[in-house]
Structure 1
Amino acid sequence: MSSIQNVQLATSQVTKLFRYAIYLFLVVVPVLFIKIRIQDIISNVKNYLFELSSSNVDERSSLLLLLTISALGCVLAISTVRVMRSPRHVYLLDFACYKPGPDHECPKELTMKLSVAYGKFTEESLNFQRKILERSGYGQRTYVATALLEKSDQSMAAAREETEAAMFGAIDDLLDKSRVEAREIGVLVVNSSTFNPTPSLSAAIVNRYKLRGNVSSFNLGGMGCSAGLIALDLAKDLLQVHSHSYALIVSTENTTRNWYGGNNRSMLVTNCLFRVGASAVLLTNRPSDRRRAKYQLCHVLRTNRASDDRCYRAVFQQEDEQNIVGVSLSRDLTAVAGEVLKENITKLGPLVLPLSEKLQFLANLIARKVAAAGAKTAVKKPYVPDFKLAFEHFCIHAGGRGVLDQLEESLNLTERLMEPSRMTLYRFGNTSSSSLWYELAYSEAKGRVRRGDRVWQIGLGSGFKCNSAVWRALRDVGPEEKNPWAGEIDGFPVIVPKIAPILY
């Protein structure tokens, strides 16, 4: 063996000895020390107990007091650790929805006039849009952007004007209602699916309200009509690490930039459905704010089926045959929405349903398994749990009358429970992810929200995604001045004729 190999072998052995020494010093020695200390503690406790049994009354009292104080200290330390590691409660302090002025109202007849004046539509496309409007479930007072009403301006400046007016209008009302200073906000999450300029919309809010320099700011894009609940989930997680803070969530969509001027039927639907709107929601994790908060957040559950090609292309932004950009809605959109909803509520059910419903679902599942195994037994239909036993209020995304009809049937809901969603669609149209808050505002304006009530918000959007949020009312919530339904709620509900949707 050469001298070099001898040196290498010696070095290797020294290295191993050094590693063993480190292991002995860092692991074995501390363990032995702890073991010895535990034995000492046990021995001391035995001595204390022996002395306690043989001592006089005064000494026993002193020892008992010492042991009691020590035990209480241990309990207090353990309780403190558990409290610090448990999730922070998230409360909804207040929310507000944007309501444009009367000059933005666009009856169905005016919508068709604008299509004739500004678009290069064929007569067939115009007739198709007219049928969509007739069967949309819309009223005559939905809102359209100024740029489209006056001159069909789709410039970046016009789009900014629409979005900023909607966002700032909702935030102004929210800050006024909540009595919270803008500089107290520590988290900001903004979602707008198809309009994402530079600087971002979140930066525009920071600039307008002079939010503090260390605000955690996020801008979500391309996530469709369920993005509002995705923003909620993000804000909830951020409030777990930002103590004693407020989170502002702003949800909106832009119609100016996304008005479609081509003749592809699947893209023309968006011109007839989407309208101007925005919501601003203020969350807090401050325990002191619980007494004045409206709701406590119980659950947020998200389902994403983008891995399925059919779901992925159900709502798709692309160019048509003439290279005109639009958002295409597939014919099986309603079916896709139903499938993703089923998956979402299957996961949500065990969290919210009473025990009786869980047992019935389990019994039905076992019966179907047994029936499927037998050749002669008829297979039972799947049991649909009664979610009316779990919630007093339902806020379903007002994406269109067909989607609402599908969910009403799937969940076996009553007309009264569907009323907030249908009336929001009738009065404000499809305002994307902010529609959930117009619906909750409807229930508040009607004076229906009572302390302890549970609210289920269901968002559906491109991807395809279905997201759920569950709230519990912390107090009775009545009509407010800055509610978007204020001054007109007595005129609702209205009768909306049910007409079969058309296929395209």
Structure 2
Amino acid sequence: MHDCVKVNGKQVYWHIANHQVPFYVGLAILYFAYRRKAPIYLIDFTCYRPPSSHRLPIAMFEENSVLDDLDPESVAFQCKIIAKSGFSEETAITSSLAQIPKVKSLALALDEAETIMCSAISDLFWRNNINPKSIDILITNSCVFCPTPSLSAMVVNKFKMRSNIMSFNLSGMGCSAGIISVSLAKDLLRVHRGSLALIVSSETLNLNWYTGKVHSMLLTNCLFRMGGAAILMSSKVNDKHKAKYELQHIVRTINAQDDQAHRCVYQDVDPENKEGISISKDVVHVAGDTLKKNIASLGPLVLPLREQFLYVISIICCKVLYRRRSSIYTPNFNLAFEHFCIHSGGRSVINAIERSLRLRKQDVEASNMTLYRFGNTSSSSIWYELSYTEAKGRMKRGDRVWQIAIGSGFKCSSAVWKCLQDVTPDNGSAWRDTINMYPVQVTDMKIS
């Protein structure tokens, strides 16, 4: 049966049968449903907890610095930094670095990476009853340790994963690599719908412990400690009921076009040809500048219209009306987020971000306590902070979390998550049996 309509006085026949219309409507619905961005869920995550035998008390750190044949000036410098680091006596390093003399080798570095990564993955799989062969996407990241075969290949081998798994290994991405990995997983999960992605964030200390005398390179010995995390993400619609969080936004900023930013955290060799990572005095300033650019992109996505309006008006007043006589308004980010996970790169970094964003002390509690208990664990630190918030029983359905990670490049990355259900404190987390001790008052250490 054909229908017709008149166009400019002429009869034009409609050659689609009436009973076929629902078919095309259905196709259109399916098309637009597929085109809609698939939700990305964070099912669960685990953080590696080093055994107590790997602890590096402050007194041991000082003694090892002396026995490493460092000159008195370098020893005094390290002791001064560690005293102000905000660390407790519980931070850990791999056992090979606690020996005198220190033992550094590729075999020991591989053993350290395998211990951290596989322990975190095993806990994650066990807690969620996951078969390793069900993982479709694998992403590993470690900033300065990049062996061959890759760390992702090591994970595939240890857990006997499928031969067609999509595996990626990110290196050289700094402490922001954890969120960069989440960004990559998000894109892959939306292309390959109904898939599971495993992210493993870690750092290896053995080969990267600096044994020279350049102060800017000695800083890494005072800041970085042993740690890692495994994260399970999904684009399966049926996983929503068991997922903890849904990904809302990811914003990435890189400032590498600026020479000062590019060089402020830099791997190099010293005059004695000893390799290390130099951290410039400009790192706090560069981090703040890169964070501002990141916030400028994130703000319109998360802030209420009133806060955005006040921010824009303040810029106009500052640049047009009063020039430098008035300061730019800092939006109230507590109206957009209930929880903050700021990369625990150091006390100065956390304090600078706290001031620049006008955050409350409770907003940076998770960051300060993670730095105190575990030290700077590089790209995995934001997951220790999220675990701290969960262990405190503060994560409720509907809460919004802002993860901020900064790292070499110079880069700043933000991830925004929405909690899908009240999170019950887990007795198996990295904070097990110690969470009631926190928060504590952090003061400078006394070094003899």
Question: TM exceeds 0.5?
Answer: yes
1:177 paired to 2:127: yes
> What is the correspondence of 1:29-428 to structure 2 with a 5 Å cutoff?
43-44=12-13, 72-117=22-67, 119-151=68-100, 152-372=102-322, 379-428=325-374
- Structure 2 CA distance for aligned equivalents of residues 229 and 38 of structure 1: 59
Q: Distance in 2 between matches of 1:362 and 1:124?
A: 49
Question: What is the number of equivalent residue pairs in this alignment?
Answer: 440
Structure 1 position 233, deviation (Å)? 0.6
Question: CA offsets, 1:348-378, max 9 Å, x none?
Answer: 00000011111211222332343157xxxx7
Residue by residue over 1:450-471, the C-alpha shift from the partner in whole angstroms, topping out at 9 and shown as x without a partner, is 0000000000000000000000
Q: Secondary structure at the match of 1:496?
A: coil
Q: Which amino acid aligns with 2:268?
A: Q
Q: Does 1:474 align with 2:426?
A: no
- 1:409 partner amino acid: R
CA contact (8 A) 1:91 1:293 kept: yes
Contact 2:57 2:91 in 1 (8 A): yes
Counterpart AA for 2:407: G
| Letter aligned with residue 346 of structure 1 | A
Q: Report Cα offsets for 1:264-287 as digits up to 9, x if no partner.
A: 000111111100000000000000
The Cα offsets for residues 444-490 of structure 1, whole Å up to 9 and x where unpaired, read as: 00000000000000000000000000000000012112210011000
**Shift in alpha-carbon separation, 1:42–1:149, aligned structure 2, 3 A:** farther
* CA–CA distance in structure 2, aligned partners of residues 148 and 197 of structure 1: 19
Cα pair 1:306 1:312 within 8 Å, conserved? yes
Separation in structure 1 between the aligned mates of residue 26 and residue 93 of structure 2, nearest angstrom: 59
Alpha-carbon RMSD across the aligned residues, in angstroms, is 2.2
For structure 1, the residue ranges without an aligned partner over 5 or more in a row are 1-35, 49-65, 500-504
Structure 1, residues 67-122: CA drift from partner, whole Å, max 9, x if none?
6x7665444332211111122111000000000111011111111122222x2210
Give 1:495 deviation, angstroms. 0.2
Residue 41 (structure 1) shift: 12
Match of 1:432 among 361, 374, 378: 378
| Structure 2: distance between partners of 1:356 and 1:365 | 14
Deviations along 1:231-284, whole A, 9 cap, x unmatched? 111111111122211000000011111111111000111111100000000000
CA distance in structure 1 between the aligned counterparts of 2:319 and 2:409, rounded to whole angstroms: 32
Query: In structure 2, which of residues 397, 405, 425 is the aligned counterpart of residue 451 of structure 1?
Result: 397
1:460 aligns with 2:410: no
What's the TM-score once normalised by structure 1's chain length?
0.84
Report which of the two structures shows the higher radius of gyration computed on alpha carbons. 1
CA distance in 2, matches of 1:102, 1:370: 58
Normalised by the length of structure 2, the TM-score is 0.94
**Does the alignment pair 1:485 with 2:431?**
yes
SS in 2 for 1:239: helix
What percentage of residue pairs aligned between the two structures are identical? Answer: 46
Residues in 1 aligned to 2:317 and 2:81: alpha-carbon distance in whole angstroms: 44
* 1:401 CA drift (Å): 0.5
In structure 2, distance between residues paired with 1:146 and 1:42: 88
Q: Per-residue deviation at 1:43?
A: 3.9
- 1:330-359: per-residue Cα shift (whole Å, max 9, x none)? 011100000000000011000000111112
Q: Greater CA deviation, 360-369 or 391-400? A: 360-369
Q: Is the CA contact 1:120–1:262 (under 8 Å) kept in the aligned structure 2?
A: no
